[in-house]
Amino acid sequence: MQVLDSSAFIHEYRTEEPTASVPEVHEELSGGHALRFDAMEGSGMHVHVPADDAIRRVRRAARESGDADVLSETDVRLVASAFELDATLVTDDYAMQNVAERLDVAVNPIDREGITEEREWLFQCAGCGRTFDDEADRCPVCGSDLTRKNPS
């Protein structure tokens, strides 16, 4: 089974395997891409609503990896669906790939090369320059904004 992100519909991804997606993907698509979603649903694509427990696990993994601030609700639900269905996630989104990797969910990138390693992000203060492991909006020392940073 493959769980399809919006990019799969935009790039007209094709597969012979069973497919699934989430209702939020349909809401993100417009025009011909939404029609493609409808056509795939009509020909057997499963529209899946992940359980709350799977969503919580994805959010926890995203917080641990530092990707929580860049994942949309749709992204979370797609990763949760792939996790719950023991499916391959079809996406070009690097943050989704990073979280999926943390949860041992297989990923198939579409139009870009996939990630080569799982990352845990650091958060750096724009004011004092200190770095922190935990995600927050503001620096606990000086109160300036924190930005996500690659630790390497």
pLDDT value of position 115: 46
What is the pLDDT confidence band of residue 116, given thresholds at 50, 70 and 90? low
118's CB contacts (< 8 A; 6+ apart) are: 65, 98, 101, 102
151's CB contacts (< 8 A; 6+ apart) are: 119, 120, 121, 122
Angle at 81 between CA 87 and CA 99, to 5 degrees: 85
- Examine the domain organization and report whether 94 and 37 are in the same domain: yes
Mean pLDDT, range 123-130, rounded to an integer: 81
Note whether residue 55 is domain-resident.
Answer: yes
Q: Does the predicted model carry a pTM greater than 0.85?
A: no
Q: What is the CA radius of gyration of the chain?
A: 17
Note whether residue 24 is domain-resident.
Answer: yes
3-state secondary structure of 132: strand
- Examine the domain organization and report whether 132 and 89 are in the same domain: no
What is the pLDDT confidence band of residue 3, given thresholds at 50, 70 and 90? very high
pLDDT value of position 119: 59
Note whether residue 33 is domain-resident.
Answer: yes
Note whether residue 14 is domain-resident.
Answer: yes
- Residue 23's domain comprises 2-108
